[in-house]
Structure 1
Amino acid sequence: MYQRILIATDGSTLSKKAVQHGLKLASLADAEIVALTVIPRYPQSYFEGSLPVPVKEVAAVEKQWADQGQAVVDAIKKTAETKGLKAKAVTAKSDLVAEAIIAAAKKHKCDLVVMASHGRKGLKRLLLGSETQHVLTHSHVPVLVLR
């Protein structure tokens, strides 16, 4: 069935549901886990939503985000290992979340991507787009989306 499953997470409640399902599926298939979170960079300009902030503070915020992301994937790795699964904790720093997920799946030779849909509707979906939709339409491996 599946040999290596990439579980993409942002640490949200809905994302945790996808993690649980991904771990169960990996247990059934005796597959390896690659737990991934994508860490954004701090906005650098007013047009990206930034306020003028000293470089030192930007570095501190980005480090905090990286530490939080690492903690999320480390927890998934630990949970997977307690279930007897091989697991790897991976972070990627990128503003292009969907592209980072697709690239990680390719790099780690995953044959399934498990992720959550954030369920945006209407104008919010139109304005914000959907990372999940992008992964679904551009991934070369199957994608399991949980709601």
Structure 2
Amino acid sequence: MFKKILVPTDGSAVGIKAAAMAAEIAQGSGGQVVGVYVIDPFPYIGIGDASAVGLQSYLNDAKRVAGAALAVVAEACRARGVPFAGDTIERNMVWEGILETAQAEGCDLVVMGSHGRQGVKALILGSVAQKVLTHAKQPVLIVKE
């Protein structure tokens, strides 16, 4: 039924659970999984060399965390014999990056965790999952802990 499933991940426990569920769905339908990790832009704009060093350090750390999170999704797919492709992107709004990826990749389902690592910030600003649910053009499966 679903041939291309997008799994946005942040490495959280519920994100890992969503990856396993997406891999299982893809296995049952002969589909594939596309993983995406959306990096928030560097939060500080400084002047001089310090900002360049800070930016590079931030991006290196963010890419390391992204790689680890996507590796978990890849392993869930590998264990089930499901094709996987993953990417790390940078966007101001994480939910927009998720939806842009779903559109660009031609995904027909988004499987994601109900909440990630944003905690209180998500309660104030609205969760990424809620924004994806509100704006997605394809079905969205929200996995809860």
- Output the TM-score relative to the length of structure 2: 0.85
Are the counterparts in 1 of residues 19 and 76 from structure 2 also a CA contact under 8 Å?
A: no
Identical pairs, percent:
31
Pairwise CA RMSD: 2.2
Name which of 51, 56, 79 aligns with 2:53: 56
Partner letter of residue 62 of structure 1?
A: L
Residues 82-129 of structure 1 deviation map (CA, whole Å, 9 limit, x = unaligned):
42211101111112111000000000000000001128xxx8655131
Query: For the residues of structure 1 that align with 2:55 and 2:121, how far apart are their CA atoms?
Result: 28
Whether 2:40 is the aligned partner of 1:40: answer yes
- Give 1:17-96 correspondences, 5 Å limit: 17-44=17-44, 54-96=51-93
Query: For the residues of structure 1 that align with 2:76 and 2:13, how far apart are their CA atoms?
Result: 17
Report the counterpart of residue 3 of structure 2 in structure 1. 3
Partner letter of residue 8 of structure 1?
A: P
Report the counterpart of residue 132 of structure 1 in structure 2. 129
Structure 1 unaligned segments of length 5 or more: list them. Answer: 47-52
How many residues align structurally?
139
State the secondary structure of the residue aligned to 1:33: strand
Displacement of 1:39 in angstroms is 1.0
16-25 vs 96-105, greater mean Cα deviation: 16-25
Are the counterparts in 2 of residues 70 and 89 from structure 1 also a CA contact under 8 Å?
A: no
Are the counterparts in 1 of residues 7 and 19 from structure 2 also a CA contact under 8 Å?
A: yes
Sort the Cα spacing of 1:77 and 1:124 in 2 relative to 1 into closer, same or farther, 3 A.
closer
- Output the TM-score relative to the length of structure 1: 0.84
